[in-house]
């Protein structure tokens, strides 16, 4: 059995616009998804999920089966839990030249599903790494990132970007613009995350931005404006200017609001963070619910979020300089 883990992420800048070739800067954080993979002697796949914002489930199936999985949770939750790992399995099989390989897979994640912290990318990246290693193939992080991107592209009907998967595979702060993905230097970033306990519908939100962009020139200009903002943010990041980074994060949230991807709970947390003295705050990820990220070296923002109606959890998150890595088997129950 092989156990691999990969980190989640927050977007410093650039979500949604990155889908259209604009730059984005995601940063890996020290919340991880762990995937344990053990080869079987048949072609079946057995997935057991411990922590994916679900109550936990086990499902076993094969490629030839047309039957719905026999599990005691809703079909939508099963789909959310296994779709990305299923795509990861296909990538691992392809990379190892073992199209009929079967696996027992256990997933544990500290990253809530659909909250804007890169849960699907982390599970996909860790799944591909563990699956290929279990079949005797070791891939470099860049190839894992590329295969994870292709997996997400399939699951998300062609709407994925390389940002989440590249960040999860390599760790640290990265810059993504189209197919150009690279690590960048970043200072210590005092991230504070607020979570409303919910999850946005990524596909619906991305489609909504696409529809606005196609209908209104000013919406297309807003997307392009996010790209320009990211380029300014890169300069501030290189200079270690946290005040400027915070101002640009505030601006980025306003542009995302204009595109209709924020929510009442996300806005409430953003304003609570700003009122508490955060250098900047914005939603992170697709939006519609989930998480905000703020910059604050003090404990004031975390405290304020704790008392903000609609915020279920608030915590600090450190930049994770490690990407995908192999763990001890004891790290997954």
For residue 305, CA distances in Å to 228, 245, 247, 281 come to 30, 20, 19, 12
Beta bridge partners of 51: 108
Active site includes 243?
no
Query: How many Å separate Cα 109 from the centre of its chain?
Result: 12
Dihedral angle of Cα 171, 174, 178, 179, to the nearest 10 degrees? -50
**Residue 76 burial (CB count, 10 A):** 8
Which of 86, 104, 146, 164 is labelled catalytic?
A: 164
- The CA distance from 171 to 165, in Å, is 10
DSSP string, 8-27: EEEEEE-TTGGGGT--BEEE
- Residue 322 CB partners (closer than 8 Å, separation 6+): 7, 28, 171
- The CA distance from 323 to 125, in Å, is 9
Dihedral angle of Cα 116, 157, 148, 229, to the nearest 10 degrees? -50
Contact criterion met (CB below 8 Å) for 89 and 45: yes
Q: Could you give the residue numbers annotated as active site? A: 164
């Amino acid at each position: 059995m092989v156990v691999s883990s990969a980190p989640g992420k927050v977007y410093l800048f650039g979500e949604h616009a990155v889908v259209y070739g604009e730059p984005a800067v995601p940063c890996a954080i020290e919340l991880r998804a762990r995937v344990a993979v053990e080869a079987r002697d048949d072609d079946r796949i057995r997935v057991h999920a411990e922590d994916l914002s679900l109550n936990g489930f086990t499902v076993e199936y094969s490629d030839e089966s047309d039957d719905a999985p026999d599990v005691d949770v809703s079909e939508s939750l099963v789909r959310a839990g296994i779709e990305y790992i299923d795509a990861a399995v296909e990538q691992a099989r392809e990379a190892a030249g073992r199209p009929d390989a079967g696996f027992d897979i256990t997933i544990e994640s500290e990253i809530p599903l659909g909250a804007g912290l890169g849960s699907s990318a982390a599970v996909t990246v860790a799944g591909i790494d563990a699956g290929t290693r279990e079949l005797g193939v070791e891939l470099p992080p860049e190839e894992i990132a590329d295969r994870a991107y292709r997996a997400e592209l399939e699951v998300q009907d062609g709407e994925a970007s390389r940002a989440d998967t590249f960040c999860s595979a390599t760790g640290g702060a990265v810059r993504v613009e189209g197919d150009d993905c690279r690590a960048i230097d970043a200072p210590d970033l005092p991230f504070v995350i607020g979570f409303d306990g919910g999850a946005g519908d990524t596909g619906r939100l991305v489609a909504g931005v696409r529809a606005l962009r196609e209908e209104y020139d000013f919406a297309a200009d807003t997307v392009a404006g996010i790209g320009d903002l990211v380029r300014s943010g890169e300069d501030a990041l290189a200079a270690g200017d946290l005040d400027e980074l915070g101002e640009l994060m505030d601006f980025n949230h306003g542009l995302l609001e204009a595109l209709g991807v924020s929510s009442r709970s996300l806005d409430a947390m953003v304003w609570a963070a700003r009122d508490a003295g955060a250098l900047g705050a914005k939603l992170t990820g697709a939006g519609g619910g989930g998480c905000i990220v703020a910059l604050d070296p003090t404990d004031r923002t975390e405290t304020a979020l704790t008392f903000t109606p609609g915020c279920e959890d608030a915590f600090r998150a450190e930049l994770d300089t490690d990407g995908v890595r192999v763990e001890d088997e004891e790290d997954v129950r």
